[in-house]
Amino acid sequence: MTLGRLLAAAISAMFLVALIGVEAIHLRSAHVHMQRQLESLAQDAATSLGLSLGALLRGGDPALAETVINPAFDRGHYERIEYLSAGGERVVSRHLPAREGNYPAWFVRVFPLHAPTAESLVSAGWRQAGRVRVTVHPRFAYEQLWGTARDTVVYLLLIYAAALLALRLVLRGVLRPLAAVEKAAQAISSRRFVTLRLRPSTRELARVVEAMNSLSLKVSEALDAETRRAQRLQAAAYHDPVTGLPNALGFTARFEALYEGEDEAFGGVLAMVDLEDLGAINREIGAERCDALLGTLLGAMDETATAAGGFAGRWGGALTALALPQLRAARAREALAALRGRVRLVLREAGLNDHDHIHCGGVEAGTGRPALQTLVRGAQEALRHAREAPEGVVVVDAAMPAEGATENPAAVVREALGAQRLHLVGQVAYRMSDHRVLHTEVLARLYDTSGHPMVAAHFMPFVVAQGLAEELDKAVIEKVMRDARRGDERISINVSARSAELPAFLAWLAQRLARERALAARLAFEIPEHGAVRNEAAATQFAHTVARAGAAFAIDNFGLHRDCLGLMRRLHPAYVKLAGVQVRRIIAGSGARFFAESVVRAARQLDIPVFAHHVEDEATFQAIGSLGFTGYQGNLGGGPVPWPGG
């Protein structure tokens, strides 16, 4: 029961008891008054008749006595009027039969009125001529008392209703600040630090609002400070301070997060651009002007990469790396040639005609999934040839074999989905403190026509490219929900960022989870951080859909984007999994360790658990042990194994 209802019930009950008491006192007083009135009426009637009969009955004529008594009796207020002679004989007797009036029978039992009888002597001069006996009928008194009770109850009920209405209005005004404080408290418990704008008129509520606002502000400021600290650490570790672009570490982390997971593979060109005379330029124009010039030049390179759907990073010194995922070799040569001409023009406009030695080398990734270091070696080899080429640009066509590739892989993937050759494997996530099982992450595996498994790293690019992500996600979710009914374990399911953006998929998922609310409470749906960053509005809608259905929403491959902590604060997932590339670097560098510690600290203030992903060995586990991670997942706790029903 709410406070408002409790107060309303208590006050209205007290007011009702008071009204009932007023009614009871009023009716009791009226009842006593009516009883006295009846007694007075009986005595007055007897005295009046005695005097009248004494003046008229000097001769003792009974007919004359009846003439005096009849008018008084006919008024109906009397039950019996008798005239008795001096000897006790009944001379005149009038009697009114008993009958009910306009009042209920129970009212008579609750408020009984006794019919009083009064006597008066009839004297003719000095001689006693007899006596008059009068008994009053209480019917009229009951009718009057009943009318009084009924009218009083109606008036009191009207007063009670008006009082309840006034009470409701008063309580609404008084308790409105409390409702706002309650919502603010719930928001703060959910780590949404709101500020109340209302100003209650009551002193106590005003102080509560001030205290709530102060608490929200202090926690929010502490979280903002932690977020800024983590962002500074991330910027220092992963970004070049001169140009603001990712450094080699940041470029590698972003590339691995985007293209070495199970979402999609890199299928474009990785290029290297080298400005040979950077040292001479620095000596000629000075460090400050050289830094400004580098910012302009690398900005142009980043624009070229962004136009191709990719990104650029300062690999080191005068060397810049460009990821061009949407370009093949021929178009990449054109883009790099145009970039080379643009850079040389900027240098000449700066008066550096003798230092415009720009070379570009690139390698096409092809249809496989080569590692970044393989592509870097190929791009550096192409760059070596570009230094000897007259045009200064060399891009090598795809020639490397694709490991694990299948002939016509797109057709094989489509056929495998159609034939439902889908198998599931699970990898367990454990709690750091006692190695208890937290949940099992379920992963999909497809089998080709020969029955050989296709690793997700190989088939996911074709699933995404062919628009089959939604179909695959639906198949996995259906299979998990069908097989998970037999156990009670908590399960996490990876959902493609492409599927999470589709309204039709969200509607299907909400309907599917609504049919099995108990099972939905054991499920968590993970989407990758880069997908949430790319379309935060869609990620927010996906999170709300999952939460309304009773399941949990989580972010996988977390900690690579510059605004990752802000994203965590806005989406408020059930947990986040720190990207494996970040976890592996905790051992190697203090910067990665400090960043991971900041992520954990900020997440703890939001009450969000942080899991370490790809914990493959004891050394990594020991390195993350003191950072405050809630759980870990990786081959240290066991690799993926066939999941029940898979």
How confident is the model at residue 465, as a pLDDT?
62
242-298 confidence digits (pLDDT tens): 888 888 888 887 887 677 654 466 778 999 999 887 888 888 888 888 888 888 999
d(CA 505, CA 511) in angstroms, rounded, equals 10
Domain of residue 469, CATH code: 3.20.20.450
How confident is the model at residue 200, as a pLDDT?
72
Domain boundary among 396, 427, 442: 396
Report the candidate in 560, 551, 625 with the shortest Cα–Cα distance to residue 587: 625
Q: Residue 234: inside a domain, yes or no? A: no
Q: Residue 253: inside a domain, yes or no? A: yes
Burial of residue 231 (number of CB atoms within 10 Å: 0-12, 13-18, 19+): middle
Same domain? For 331 and 442 the reply is no
Q: Report residue 252: phi and psi, to 5°.
A: -65, -45
Q: How far is CA 156 from CA 10, 15, 28, 435, in A?
A: 18, 11, 16, 70
Same domain? For 140 and 274 the reply is no
Q: Residue 224: inside a domain, yes or no? A: no
Low-confidence residues of the chain, pLDDT below 50?
A: 262-263, 400-406, 646
- Sign of dihedral through CA atoms 270, 276, 281, 282? positive
Same domain? For 341 and 484 the reply is no
Q: Residue 227: inside a domain, yes or no? A: no
Task: Give the end-to-end CA distance of the chain in Å, rounded to a whole number.
Answer: 48
How confident is the model at residue 98, as a pLDDT?
64
Domain boundary among 143, 161, 179: 161
**Which range marks the domain in which residue 255 is found?**
248-396
How confident is the model at residue 333, as a pLDDT?
92
How confident is the model at residue 262, as a pLDDT?
47
How many domains would you assign to the chain? 3
Q: Residue 176: inside a domain, yes or no? A: no
Q: Residue 243: inside a domain, yes or no? A: no
How confident is the model at residue 362, as a pLDDT?
94
Q: Residue 175: inside a domain, yes or no? A: no
Domain of residue 371, CATH code: 3.30.70.270
Domain boundary among 161, 184, 218: 161
- Sign of dihedral through CA atoms 213, 214, 219, 224? positive
pTM beyond 0.95, yes or no: no
Q: Which residues are within 8 A (CB) of 206 and not within 5 positions of it... i.e. 6 or more apart?
A: 199, 200
Same domain? For 629 and 516 the reply is yes
How confident is the model at residue 368, as a pLDDT?
62
Q: Residue 174: inside a domain, yes or no? A: no
Same domain? For 475 and 621 the reply is yes
How confident is the model at residue 206, as a pLDDT?
77
Same domain? For 475 and 559 the reply is yes
Same domain? For 368 and 419 the reply is no
